[in-house]
Amino acid sequence: MTPPMQDHDSAELRPYQNGFRWDGVELRPYKQDDAAPYKAVSRQELFAHPALGCQLRYFEVAAGGYSTLERHEHVHAVMILRGRGQCLLADRVRDVKPFDLVTVPAWTWHQFRATAGEALGFLCMVNAERDRPQLPDEQTLAELRGRPEVAAFLAR
């Protein structure tokens, strides 16, 4: 009989610290490459495990900042943890607040903006192995701006 797989080495508790930090988790820049436009975003990698094939990150967008407007094949599950703001999801702009859950399906344009004068922080679950995000070209941007609410969002 095969014994149950044991993996005691990855058993851990990471205590929460004040200020949306977790014990032993490094505060990193949002993206490794600065080719994609974004403003005032930090990243903490909270969890990754090969058996799950996913990563759980915490991103924080400072007041007035924004994540990259992008789309990709991989999917995100996002849970807002702090602050208020807005997200662009496909061709709609949605207000978000703590504990709202946002599903970003494959190939859906998305961007998070801290538009309410305060930081916007959220958990994001994602595949560990994932495709590279695409950025919008000028034609795509023009199409998105065709909706007044999206134009206003992108201009903030």
Active-site annotation, residues: 124
Angle CA(140)–CA(109)–CA(73) in degrees, nearest 5?
110
d(CA 36, CA 14): 31
Q: Residue 111 is encoded by which pair of tokens?
A: 């961007």
Q: Which residues contact 30 (CB under 8 A, 6 or more apart)?
A: 38, 41, 42, 43, 59, 67, 68
